[in-house]
């Protein structure tokens, strides 16, 4: 039973970058390290226009499937895998992370943006992975969560609204 | 083209709040979150999902939070008045409180980040065009790690009100952006803290995107004279509760196809 009422969210606004950026923020694994993949895509709004001021975070298991318990994301040492990273979208709405492919079906993704009142949670599923939740979705819904394998990693676009709208999550 | 006035925005806000109260009076549960679909904040129009989020049991990674610690954050990062050679302009203050989860348990040893405008209402961000002065002694970003009781504490200055282009003569109430991690990634929260008695509250479509009065009030810090330091700084207290609760209304069970 809940004894404390939640603090409401508010938009991250347009001017978050200097508040939340840090060195190598999107490099959970250094690019070029053995096993490092690039996870990337484009964030679009309901008109199909790229969103140039979104903030994305990923949080994931490591290459052996373990949940990282190591701190150090803000001062990455090049070898410790913390499992967490963040980045902003470019003027073209693009995001990219460098990470290790988790031995798990999905990577957790949190989306923030100017104009977006509260966090949106979603999942980036690895191609070929499945679970009961993914099975419960329609094929069109599933498409919005399953990444495409590319030459250097994985690609998944995020659509905030409209055609191809990403499936967002509300946790029980 | 007709100018979009505060009166129009205020009417839209009043209508949405009246609709909310009518639904609550008819038996709907109260909301603890903002509406994602809230036209008075014009930038939300194309950026809110139109489908209900999918209810899901959080799994594995979602039930944990990333770890942060003193490898990540130095103690000095919680003092935004000590990041430059001189003292920043403005009203010096301490902001402190506890981070709790929905069961009232402290969120221990977790990251709290904040960022804010300076005392003139200007952000350091390069795209902020507000013609108010930058302060060479104030950047406006800080971090800390909560202690064993979930307590965070920052020293900073009170930010100024800030003009924006949502409509003609739109001003944001003074606010500090906060970013929080809970005991699980489902509890991830980005929000804004406000100051008591701000006359801009009723006019602001971002603050008013939270339709429930009691929920809005929970974003307002309390002035706490016991936190004020004689001859030095004022003090505000603001507790934060992270539950990861759903952020939108659901249609009643069974009504979905």
Give me the residue spans of the domains in chain A.
36-159
Task: Indicate if the pLDDT at residue A116 is higher than 60.
Answer: yes
For this structure, is B98 an active site residue? no
Active-site hit among B122, B143, B167, B172: B172
A132 CB near a chain B CB, below 8 Å? no
A chain contacts of residue B100, beta-carbon cutoff 8 Å: 4
- The answer to whether B182 and B111 are in contact (CB under 8 A) is no
Q: Which pLDDT score, from 0 to 100, does residue B255 have?
A: 39
Residue of chain A minimizing CA distance to B221: A7
Written as one string, the DSSP assignment of B171-203 is EEPSEEEEEE--SSGGG-EEEEEE-TT-TTGGG
- Closest to A60 in 3D by CA, of A68, A69, A49: A68
CB atoms within 10 A of CB B126: 9
Q: Inspect the interface and report whether the beta carbons of B190 and A119 lie closer than 8 Å.
A: yes
B249 CB near a chain A CB, below 8 Å? no
A80 CB near a chain B CB, below 8 Å? no
For this structure, is B162 an active site residue? yes
**Stated pTM of the model:** 0.96
B56 CB near a chain A CB, below 8 Å? yes
- Closest to B176 in 3D by CA, of B116, B254, B89, B101: B116
pLDDT tens digit sequence for A41-88: 999 999 999 999 999 999 999 999 999 999 999 999 999 999 999 999
Q: Which pLDDT score, from 0 to 100, does residue B121 have?
A: 96
Q: Inspect the interface and report whether the beta carbons of A161 and B48 lie closer than 8 Å.
A: yes
Task: Indicate if the pLDDT at residue B37 is higher than 80.
Answer: yes
| Reported CATH class of domain A36-159 | mainly beta
Strands (E), chain A: 36-44, 54-59, 84-88, 94-100, 106-113, 120-125, 148-150, 153-155, 158-159, 169-171
């Amino acid at each position: 039973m809940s004894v404390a009422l939640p603090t409401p969210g508010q938009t991250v606004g347009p001017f978050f970058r200097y508040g939340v950026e840090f060195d190598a923020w999107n490099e959970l694994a250094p690019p070029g390290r053995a096993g490092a993949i690039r996870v990337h895509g484009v964030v679009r709004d309901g008109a199909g226009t790229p969103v140039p001021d979104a903030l994305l975070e990923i949080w994931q298991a490591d290459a052996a499937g373990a949940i990282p318990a190591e701190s150090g994301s803000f001062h990455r040492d090049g070898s410790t895998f913390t499992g967490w990273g963040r980045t902003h979208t470019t003027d073209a709405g693009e995001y990219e992370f460098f990470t290790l492919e988790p031995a798990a079906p999905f990577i957790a993704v949190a989306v923030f943006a100017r104009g977006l009142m509260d966090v949106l949670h979603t999942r980036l599923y690895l191609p070929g992975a499945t679970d009961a939740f993914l099975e419960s979705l329609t094929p069109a819904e599933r498409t919005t969560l399953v990444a495409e394998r590319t030459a250097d990693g994985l690609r998944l676009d995020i659509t905030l609204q409209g055609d191809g709208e990403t499936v967002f999550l509300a946790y029980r | 083209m007709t100018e979009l006035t505060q009166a129009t925005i205020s009417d839209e806000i009043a209508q949405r709040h009246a609709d909310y109260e009518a639904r609550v009076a008819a038996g709907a549960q109260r909301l603890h979150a903002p509406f994602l679909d809230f036209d008075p904040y014009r930038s939300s129009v194309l950026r809110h999902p139109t489908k209900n989020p999918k209810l899901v049991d959080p799994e594995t990674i979602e039930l944990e939070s990333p770890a942060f610690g003193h490898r990540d954050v130095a103690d000095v990062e919680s003092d935004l008045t000590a990041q430059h050679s001189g003292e920043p302009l403005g009203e010096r203050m301490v902001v402190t409180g506890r981070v709790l989860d929905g069961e009232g348990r402290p969120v221990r040893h977790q990251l709290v980040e904040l960022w804010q405008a300076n005392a003139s209402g200007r952000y350091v961000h390069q795209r902020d065009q507000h013609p108010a002065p930058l302060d060479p002694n104030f950047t406006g970003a800080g971090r800390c790690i909560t202690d064993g009781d979930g307590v965070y504490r920052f020293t900073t200055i009170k930010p100024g009100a800030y003009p924006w282009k949502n409509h003609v003569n739109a001003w944001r109430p003074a606010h500090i952006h906060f970013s929080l991690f809970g005991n699980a990634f489902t509890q991830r929260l980005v929000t804004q803290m406000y100051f008591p008695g701000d006359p801009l509250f009723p006019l602001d479509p971002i603050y008013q995107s939270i339709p429930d009065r009691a929920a809005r009030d929970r974003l307002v810090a309390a002035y706490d004279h016991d936190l004020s330091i004689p001859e030095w700084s004022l003090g505000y207290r603001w507790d934060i509760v992270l539950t990861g609760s759903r952020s939108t209304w659901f249609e009643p069970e069974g009504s979905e196809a």
